[in-house]
Amino acid sequence: MSSDYTPPNDPLEVIHEDAELLLVNKPHGLLSVPGKGEHLADCLISRVQAAFPTALLVHRLDRDTSGVMVFALTKAAQRHLGLQFEKRHTKKTYIALVHGAVAEKSGSIDLPLIVDWPNRPLQHVNFETGKPALTEWRRGAVKDGVTRMRLFPKTGRSHQLRVHMKELGHPIVGDPFYSDDWENHPRMMLHAESLKLRHPEGGRALEFKAKAPF
């Protein structure tokens, strides 16, 4: 990531807040956590903690991905939520615009992923050393050579949806790592639309949403 990091100045958009949980709609172009160097210090966790000092990190979204992110407001909630993510009890839905007309109505991609060390932070498919990665998908409307997709990651590998869409032959529009067209678009067209989880206090099933801005 270069020194031209210019995160948006959008005000913090809170989706839900209670004694244990905080959910916000992360804007695209903003790091979830600080990068290396002073110029990469501005990030969502620091902005959240400025308003909610007890907020603790649970998971991350890529810099160029927008959408629903959950933070814990107590250590106990952080442990509870961390286990939900680790055991894949959470359910995530993403919206993406991808290049080309996807032929099938739905499908799944089961390709193991691992960091491409000479080109990190890029990830790539590796059947020998890669970690299991599974994405289910459902096709939406096709318009002007672009397909709207609903993506359901069953694992949480780094860049999973981005690499899987590329491997499907339909890279995400505006992806600065895995698509050749990124300079022609204002952002990467990937948004975390909804997150289903269980409340750390009592275990009640909840779903939180943020509408895709594209």
| 62 classed as catalytic | yes
CA pair distance 56, 76, nearest whole angstrom: 10
Contacts of 136 (CB under 8 A, 6+ apart): 106, 107, 108, 151, 152, 154
Q: Which of 18, 42, 62, 181 is catalytic?
A: 62
Q: Which of the residues are catalytic?
A: 62
